[in-house]
Amino acid sequence: MSQKPVTMDVVIDAVAVVTIFNPPVNALAIPVIAGLMEKFDEASRRNDVKAVVLTGKGGKFSGGFDINVFRKVHETGDASVAAPDVSVALVLNAIEECKKPVVVAVEGLALGGGLELAIAFHARIAVPKALLGLPELSLGVIPGLGGTQRLPRLIGLPKAIEIMLTSKPITSEEGKKLGLIDAIVPSEELLKVSRRWVLDIAEKCKPWVLSLHITDKIGSLSEVKEVIKIARQQAKRTAPILPQHQACLDVIEEGIVHGGYTGILKEVKVFKELVLQDTAKGLVHTFLAQRATSKVSNVTDLGLKPRQIKKVAVIGGGQMGSEIATALIVSNIFVLVKEVNSEYLQKGIKMIQANVRALVKRGKLTKERQKKHSRCLKEFWITLNLKM
List residues with catalytic annotation. 116, 136
What CA–CA distance (Å, rounded) separates 245 from 137?
7
CB within 8 A of 234, min separation 6: which ones? 165
Element (H, E) at 229: helix 221-238
In order of 290, 327, 339, 376, the CA distances from 349 in angstroms are 35, 14, 11, 12
**Residues paired with 200 in a beta bridge:** none
CB within 8 A of 277, min separation 6: which ones? 140, 243
Q: Is 17 helix (H, G, I), strand (E, B) or coil?
A: strand
What CA–CA distance (Å, rounded) separates 199 from 287?
41
Identify which of 30, 89, 41 has the alpha carbon closest to the alpha carbon of residue 8. Answer: 41
Contact assessment for residue 77 and residue 276, using Cβ atoms and an 8 Å cutoff: yes
DSSP state of 137: G
Identify which of 271, 291, 288, 282 has the alpha carbon closest to the alpha carbon of residue 116. Answer: 271
Q: Are strands 131-133 and 170-171 parallel, antiparallel or unpaired?
A: antiparallel
24 cis-preceded (ω within 30 degrees of 0): yes
Cα angle 179, 182, 188 (rounded to 5 degrees) comes to 140
What CA–CA distance (Å, rounded) separates 334 from 13?
61
Cα 356–chain centre separation: 34
Contact assessment for residue 89 and residue 268, using Cβ atoms and an 8 Å cutoff: yes
Single-letter residue type at 271:
F
DSSP-assigned letters across all residues of 271-322: HHHHHTSHHHHHHHHHHHHHHHTT--TTTGGGT--PPPP-EEEEE--SHHHH
What CA–CA distance (Å, rounded) separates 55 from 127?
12
Q: What would you report as the CA-atom Rg of the chain, rounded to the nearest whole angstrom? A: 26
